[in-house]
Amino acid sequence: KKKVILDCDPGHDDAFGIMLAVQHLDVLGLTTIGGNSPLENVTTNALKVLEVLGAADDIGVYPGHSCPMVAPLVTAPQFHGETGMDGPVLPDPVHAPQPKHAVDFIVETVMSTDDVTLIATGPLTNIAAAINREPRIVERVKELCIMGGSVTYGNWTPAAEFNIFVDPEAASRVFNSGMHVKMTGINLTRQCNLTGEHVAEFRRIGTKAALLAADLTDFFIGTCAEESELTGATMHDACAVAWIVKPELIKSVPMHIDIELDGRLTRGMTVCDYRHLRGEAPEVDLERTPTMDFRGEKPNAEAALELDFPGFVELLNTTLERYD
Ligand code: BDR
Ligand code: CA
């Protein structure tokens, strides 16, 4: 199993990321970051999800930064409710968070363990702070797979996706660090919408994890519909985890990506250089070898473009079946 640390802010879609990770990956720890909801809430939510999955004895939850590096924290109660994970009724967690800070956990684990993959499904504050604390982690990690950004347009603003918008300075630090970044942006995750049919299947599967998935999706379908034109719940963060669990589910291209920090309308935008690809994203020609007449900057990232959605749903259903 691939060794991972999952840095998250649960969050309905983060919870799905946790479900996939716990079943298919060697999760060395969960670290939490203020994002969808304040740090205390997302940490409690992470513990609750692990307890439903029966994994809380084995996987520690390490709280990280409560706010971004420079900007004030922006949260998303209109999507995730006041607790950050409204909908399912879950008991208070029995387990306490770990006393070690997330950044210490990330640095110590990566420096002492080979081939750790970092997955980040919230603002990138903890990852940037870990790089600042110990720059050698850039070379030590296998890769960093994030949910955030977009090859096309934004969701929180016309230009920016939520996770990058919340802490653009941290995202800039990460994308310019030399760490290999896989970017699961909303251009990809918008291909991953769960509807009532999927909820019915989760209820039929009937494991504790599947019932949690059903309750989470029911709530999230409602807020996604209120806040956008979507008729499903977009499982953004689960896509980033799925990319590590089953890489063939996602088609991607190498790209140079940098973060806009100053734009009046574009702060937090992931500026994606796809001049080396024919056509305009998202319709870039995936079959084309991207080196022939390369005019853009040297790629520092791999941008996800196409999701095998039926394959994703199958992975999710088999995962939920495997829990008790
Ligand atoms: C991202 O923002 C959060 O609300 C979700 O959990 C996801 O990580 C989508 O823009
Ligand atoms: Ca998230």
Question: What is residue 268's three-state secondary structure?
Answer: coil
Of the candidates 189, 178, 194, 175, the residue with the CA atom closest to the CA atom of residue 304? 189
Assigned token pair, 299: 């790629």
C-alpha 258/C-alpha 214 separation (Å) is 37
Ligand 1 atom, smallest distance to 9 CA:
6
CB 10 within 8 A of CB 310: no
Element (H, E) at 79: helix 77-80
CB 248 within 8 A of CB 159: no
**Ligand number, closest to the Cα atom of 9:** 2
The residue to mutate among 16, 187, 236, 269, having the most atoms of ligand 1 within 8 angstroms of its beta carbon, is 236
CB 67 within 8 A of CB 38: no
Q: Verify whether residue 236 is a known catalytic residue.
A: yes
Of the candidates 51, 40, 50, 52, the residue with the CA atom closest to the CA atom of residue 211? 52
CA 148 / ligand 2 centre spacing (Å): 9
User: HSE-up of 255 (CA within 13 Å, CB side)?
Assistant: 27
C-alpha 13/C-alpha 6 separation (Å) is 13
C-alpha 228/C-alpha 224 separation (Å) is 6
Q: Is 187 in the pocket of ligand 1 (CB under 6 A)?
A: no
C-alpha 269/C-alpha 258 separation (Å) is 8
What ipTM was predicted for this assembly?
Answer: 0.99
pLDDT of residue 250: 97
In terms of Cβ atoms closer than 10 Å to its own Cβ (0-12, 13-18, 19+), residue 312 is: buried
Q: Is 93 in the pocket of ligand 1 (CB under 6 A)?
A: no
pLDDT of residue 298: 82
Sign of the torsion formed by the C-alpha atoms of 189, 157, 263 and 65: negative
Of the candidates 206, 234, 225, the residue with the CA atom closest to the CA atom of residue 16? 234
For residue 254, how many other CB atoms are within 10 A of its CB? 16
pLDDT of residue 224: 85
CA 222 / ligand 2 centre spacing (Å): 17
* C-alpha distance across the termini of the chain, in Å: 20
Tokens 């709280």: give the residue: 63
Q: Where are the alpha helices (DSSP H) in 87-181?
A: 102-112, 125-133, 137-140, 162-166, 168-175
Q: Is 7 in the pocket of ligand 1 (CB under 6 A)?
A: no
pLDDT of residue 296: 67
Q: Is 236 in the pocket of ligand 1 (CB under 6 A)?
A: yes
User: HSE-up of 148 (CA within 13 Å, CB side)?
Assistant: 37
φ, ψ at 141 (rounded to 5°): -75, 150
Of the candidates 139, 110, 114, the residue with the CA atom closest to the CA atom of residue 126? 110
One-letter identity of residue 86: D
Per run of 10 residues, the mean pLDDT along the chain (length 324 residues) is 98 98 98 98 98 98 98 95 96 97 98 98 98 98 98 95 98 97 97 96 98 97 82 95 98 94 97 73 54 67 96 98 93
How wide is the angle at C-alpha 232 spanned by C-alphas 24 and 90, nearest 5°?
Answer: 60
Q: Model's pTM, two decimal places?
A: 0.95
Assigned token pair, 315: 């992975």
pLDDT of residue 119: 99
